[in-house]
Amino acid sequence: MMIRLGTKKVGEVTHSRVVDGDLQTDRFSVKIPLSVLSDEAKDLLDYWYVEEFDYAYLDRESGLLVLVATHEGVLPDGYEPESLED
């Protein structure tokens, strides 16, 4: 299924299903071209290298597809994190 903005293709969603006995596994893949993202957004995704999203939802009020990922890591003693606003 194509994702369109007006007449312009801006991505796609695919679905696959595997049934093994009484277990059904569904997988949805959302693909949005990098060309719709700003350079800053691409750098942010590249910097964090998100491989897997925790969850996604459709925010119909704002018209957005929201993909959420969480990464946790242990900081070394004495580490001073950089400000995200710099």
Tell me: do 24 and 42 sit in the same domain: no
Residue 51 has a pLDDT of 63
Give pLDDT tens digits for 34-66.
778 788 887 777 666 656 678 888 778 877 778
Tell me: do 42 and 26 sit in the same domain: no
Tell me: do 43 and 28 sit in the same domain: no
Which whole-number Å values give the CA distances from 4 to 9, 11, 43, 48, 76, in the listed order? Answer: 4, 7, 24, 27, 45
Does residue 78 register a pLDDT over 70?
yes
Global pTM reads 0.52
Please report which helix (H) or strand (E) contains residue 58, including its range: strand 55-59
Tell me: do 23 and 1 sit in the same domain: yes
Mean pLDDT over all residues of the chain? 77
Residue 71 has a pLDDT of 67
- Structural domain for 54, as ranges: 38-71
Task: Please give the tally of structural domains in the chain.
Answer: 2
Tell me: do 30 and 16 sit in the same domain: yes
Does residue 81 register a pLDDT over 70?
no
